[in-house]
Amino acid sequence: MPASEKLITAESGLELYSWFFMRLSGIVLFILALGHLIIMHVINTVENIDDLFVAERLSNPFWQIYDWLLLTLAILHGLNGIRIIIDDYVHRPGLRLTLQSLLYLTALLFFVAGSMVIWTFPSYP
C-alpha cells in the first residue's frame, strides 16, 4: 500500500472528526468564555453578583442556552483532550479501559449536575 493511502486511512474516521471538533469547539469556547468573562467580571462587579443576580440571569432562556452551551462544549472539549492523552500514554488495555470509563462517568456526572443547575435554578419574583 502506498504511503499516501496509509495516510488517508489513518486520518479518517473518529480521530479525524475528533481533530476537527477540537479546533471548532476551541474557537467557540474562546468566544463564549470571553463573553462570560466580560459580562461577569467587567460589566458587573463582584459586589453585584449574588444569588438574585444569577437567578435573574438564568430565568432568561437566552442565558440558559448560552451557559448550557458553554458547559457542554467545555465538558466535551476537555473529555476529548483527556481521552487523547489516555490513548497516547496508557498502553495497557485494561488500565486504558478503566481510565476511560472513569473519565466518561465523571464527565457525565458533571454534565448532569451542571445541566440541572442551569435548567432548574430557582427564579425569584
Cell numbers at residue 95, please?
488500565
In the chain (125 residues long), the average pLDDT of successive 10-residue segments reads: 50 83 96 94 88 90 96 96 95 96 98 96 77
CA 33 to chain centre: 11
Task: Please report the pLDDT score of residue 10 as a whole number.
Answer: 52
Domains and CATH numbers, the chain: 3-120 (1.20.1300.10)
- Answer for the pair 68, 118: CB distance below 8 angstroms, yes or no: yes
Task: Please report the pLDDT score of residue 59 as a whole number.
Answer: 92
Helix (H) or strand (E) segment spanning residue 54: helix 51-58
Q: What is the DSSP letter of 39?
A: I
The CA distance from 101 to 117, in Å, is: 24
Task: Please report the pLDDT score of residue 8 as a whole number.
Answer: 47
